[in-house]
Structure 1
């Protein structure tokens, strides 16, 4: 029968194949999501644009310490990483994001390897597959920021600790890797690496008698070796700016720890994580309950203790932003896989008619109908979006809406139409497919890569492009978060000046939009984009 053909089998049955070829199947599942795009890209202001611009400053000046002329408040790991790819591939949005794409793939493979040890191959594969179709995770795998590299280093440290425990013969090697990963995390994310390091302490301290990690001398050798690049950078920075180098680094952390952003209170992550990890956060709550009820031997303090302590630290830390929680997402995927596996076993047993909808045997049925309702709502929303003239979101909503109908169709087909071959694997696949399709279509429309299309099209105009490519452009006291886009996309930089009067005649400059009466000397406007203008100072008569 057709459904028995390997390439038509559902994802759950493919898990048995992935036991032999897990990496290949995960790459086939994930890489298209990382690469689908509209063919046009533009960096995101503010964070990605800042990292891209600072890396470009290092690249342009061939100064990998502090080309901005003052003591910097962050360690240079992200700038160095992006700058290396600028050296290899040139300056572009793709080379800015390629490090995260690569390390995002390695994060998925590490998630599989860690999950394979703690949960078994099937659940490990499912967890990695879930992680790759989680919105916030995929979004940051396609952005040039330090978040995904930091998560990679944390996962590598966790994997190394587990391997050192399983293979004591090689504990020195794995201990060195664990220490190296955590200290390189400081180079990448400054003092923020202390949060996941502290979250590992319950495992390292409480279970010390079993694994003896803290008495492994090579753990500390790895920590010291990993800090060498940071110490070298600090030394050269200190030679230029003295004690301001240390003051900037520590002052930034104190500033972050003393202010809220956007009114994000202590409960911020309680609602933000479920929203950005929809729908997997809800399955992960079920999985967390199951793991607490039946602990995973030897690894409970990693699987549950680590994310619990990290979540508490993130909530207490005053600056609360969505991407700070990305280290939690592999563990959300682990719990979601456990929860889905439990639901799949119930699905196989059937349902109890005329019983409460939330009775244990009826949860898959209730969930299936809820997915159907969500699908219908999305279809209706897409019709409204189409009526308003928004073709992109209308198409996205239509595809998502119909794909969410897969789940109830599978359930009805098995239990009302007699299609007994529709096992739990098909039902679980029905939950994964809508997320995959939605993210694939969003990427194809540029919604996951083209964050500032107005700026992109402005810089592509022939009249603008010819000037930017051939003349140095002055910058006159530009502010606002989008100013970083002007800096990144302007190929030849002139000087930064305080007033327009300091721009030489016949030269070009970026300025804020303002009434012509306020601009002196005489000028002509070459082009305008949002709050900014490209002008040319006219020669004096």
Structure 2
């Protein structure tokens, strides 16, 4: 018992106990993939896995580096082609990021702030949402946080490693170079944004003058260079041009009218409620942490500026800000709950914000109770069919609303540990319910239900399926049907008795004899006669 208690006192174990239920319970929920962008990463990796060509199995030069495809294809090799194998690497890396945030915060701040920061990161909605989607963002951020931690550790030590007869600083900087190179392998030119955010620190501490950094970078770039070399033997200079063209086209394309204030509003919405405290923590770090500014303040400022100026603005580009937001929030909450500073401006501001959350939580709780009662007695509200509201939404509303309400009630007297605990536990319970409900993991339930029909399963397990058409449905088909004919792309190439998923617009009006097996949206699953 004593050893178990001492194990629980280990901060890394505590963070795993806190985070794993949120990141793990969704693996046991209903699952289906998102056609874009997760489905694209899933099917491209599946193409590598199916064909055995892990360099460039496409008919033309590919526009993204292969790192994420290799990682997913490796997971397929170990666990088979399924949603769990697809998402498991990202979930493990998301946990790794939480532990790295603790390591960084405990080095630059203190243990209380570090534990809070790790716990808060696992409660940020966008972070959890993308933890359950296969994408290159989490591994890139994991490498970035690892590089940041190594940079800080490197400048603290000048010891000699007797095994390698090298200064320890050179070993750390060699590892930093490897991390930088891997970021390019997994995220391409967008990884440069994160690398660039650490340049001021490298310059200030004169770490950029060390040869070991560039040796690590050169060795780490070998997989990417070898991939480009082998791909160029097939496509010439087109392999490099396609990578550059993607970056250039994205830098000139504004999606869905997302203007310069896009990340401000999305971070306020998707980072709520923690973002309301993060600004106060940012100010505290500027005021107090003189020597940590280059690692805690400048990198996120540069990242925010870079993604704002970059014309293609998408919510997941801001994921690299969330570890810093967790540290800023933890800084504000910890200092505001300090028993020696009850009358300070920070404490009063945090208390006011917490009171506001309490009111908001009470509203959420009231709506949850009200709608639950109306559903129970089968009553309508403003002609709305309340039975269509998933029970999971109501189940989430209770712990979330109650946690915020109690935090506000405790803060009515003073903001202290009770308010912090209410905020954390209420949102933790809500996120566990959210992950276990399937709302995060079951993205395409209608298609998955159709695929699981016995008739279709029998065909899928034994027959090779051609796919003619495009769009999101094609992505889903290529993932959920194990035997895909990647060669047949036109209806003229079809043969008798062949099975094919075909978009309705590609079907000729006559002279084609076939049997319809299933329909999905504008697609038909048919067998030629």
Q: TM-score, normalised by structure 1?
A: 0.88
Distance 2:487 2:366 in 1: 51
Instruction: Determine the C-alpha separation between the residues in 2 that align with 1:515 and 1:251.
Output: 31
Equivalent residues of 1:260, 1:318 under 8 A apart? yes
Call closer, same or farther: CA 1:503–1:117 in 2, change over 3 Å: same
Contact 1:281 1:332 in 2 (8 A): yes
Q: Does 1:313 align with 2:303?
A: no
- 8 Å contact kept, 2:341–2:347: no
What is the deviation of 1:322?
A: 0.7
1:35 correspondence with 2:35: no
> In 2 relative to 1, CA 19–278 (structure 1 residues): closer, same or farther, beyond 3 Å?
same
User: CA-atom RMSD, angstroms?
Assistant: 2.3
Aligned equivalents of 1:260, 1:281: Cα separation in 2: 25
Distance in 1 of aligned mates of 2:51 and 2:31 = 25
How many matched pairs? 503
Structure 2 unaligned blocks of 5 or more = 160-167, 381-385
Cα distance in 1, alignment partners of residues 41 and 309 from structure 2: 26
Distance (Å, rounded) in 2 between the aligned partners of 1:18 and 1:128:
18
Alpha-carbon spacing, 1:411–1:298, altered in 2? closer, same or farther (3 Å): closer
Q: Which residue of 1 aligns with 2:449?
A: 457
**Among candidates 506, 511, 526, match of residue 535 of structure 1:** 526
Task: Say whether the 8 Å CA contact 1:500–1:521 is kept in structure 2.
Answer: no
Structure 1, unmatched stretches of 5+, are 1-5, 7-13, 352-358, 416-422
- Native 8 Å contact 1:45 1:485 kept in 2: yes
1:369 aligns with 2:339: no
Match of 1:219 in 2: 213
Matched residue, 2:383: none
Structure 2 CA distance for aligned equivalents of residues 220 and 345 of structure 1: 44
Pair 1:136-2:134 in alignment: no
Aligned to 1:525, the other structure's residue is in SS state strand
Are the structure 2 counterparts of residues 150 and 364 from structure 1 closer, same or farther at C-alpha, using a change threshold of 3 Å?
closer
**Compared CA separation, residues 162 and 509, structure 1 to 2 (3 A):** same
2:354–2:411 Cα contact (<8 Å) kept: yes
Distance 1:223 1:361 in 2: 45
1:182·1:223 contact (CA, 8 Å) conserved in 2? yes
Question: Compared with structure 1, are the counterparts of its residues 516 and 239 closer, same or farther at alpha carbon in structure 2 (3 Å cutoff)?
Answer: closer
Q: Report the CA distance shift for 1:19/1:396 in structure 2 as closer, same or farther (over 3 A).
A: closer
SS of aligned partner of 2:472: coil
Paired with 2:98 and 2:322, the residues of 1 have a C-alpha distance of 11
Q: 1:379 to 1:531 in 2, by over 3 A?
A: farther
Structure 1 equivalent of residue 163 of structure 2: none
Q: Does 1:479 align with 2:470?
A: yes
Verify the 8 A CA contact 1:347 1:424 in the aligned structure 2.
no
Which residue of the partner structure matches residue 55 of structure 2?
65
User: Which residue in the other structure is 1:10 paired with?
Assistant: none
Please give the alpha-carbon distance, in whole angstroms, between the structure 2 residues aligned to 1:331 and 1:82. Answer: 27
Alignment of 1:96-175 (within 5 A): 96-169=86-159, 170-175=168-173
Q: Are the structure 2 counterparts of residues 116 and 243 from structure 1 closer, same or farther at C-alpha, using a change threshold of 3 Å?
A: same
Contact 1:500 1:519 in 2 (8 A): no
- 2:171 matches 1:181: no
Classify 1:486/1:403 alpha carbon distance in 2 versus 1 (closer, same or farther; 3 Å): same
CA shift at 1:346, angstroms? 6.7
Find the counterpart in structure 2 of residue 3 from structure 1. none
What residue in structure 2 maps to residue 354 of structure 1? none
Cα deviations across residues 372-429 of structure 1 (Å, max 9, x unaligned)? 32123223443448451112322222332233222134346x67xxxxxxx8222111
Shift of 1:110: 1.0
Report deviation, 1:440: 0.8
Q: Tell me how far apart the structure 2 counterparts of residues 425 and 21 of structure 1 sit (CA, whole Å).
A: 20
* Change in 2 beyond 3 A, CA 1:222/1:360: closer
- In structure 2, the partner of 1:525 is 516
1:265 alignment partner, one of 259, 263, 271 = 259
- Distance, in Å, in 1 between the alignment partners of 2:95 and 2:285 is 27
Conserved in 1, the CA contact under 8 Å of 2:63 and 2:246? yes
Contact 2:336-2:342 at 8 Å conserved across structures: no
- C-alpha deviation, 1:278, in angstroms: 1.1
The whole-number CA distance in structure 2 between the counterparts of 1:60 and 1:495 is: 10
Q: 1:516 to 1:105 in 2, by over 3 A?
A: closer
Alignment of 1:38-437 (within 5 A): 39-169=29-159, 170-205=168-203, 207=204, 211-294=205-288, 296-345=289-338, 349=342, 362-382=348-368, 383-384=370-371, 386=375, 388-389=386-387, 390=389, 391-411=391-411, 424-437=416-429
Residue 479 of structure 1, CA deviation: 1.7
What is the TM-score with the length of structure 2 in the denominator?
Answer: 0.90
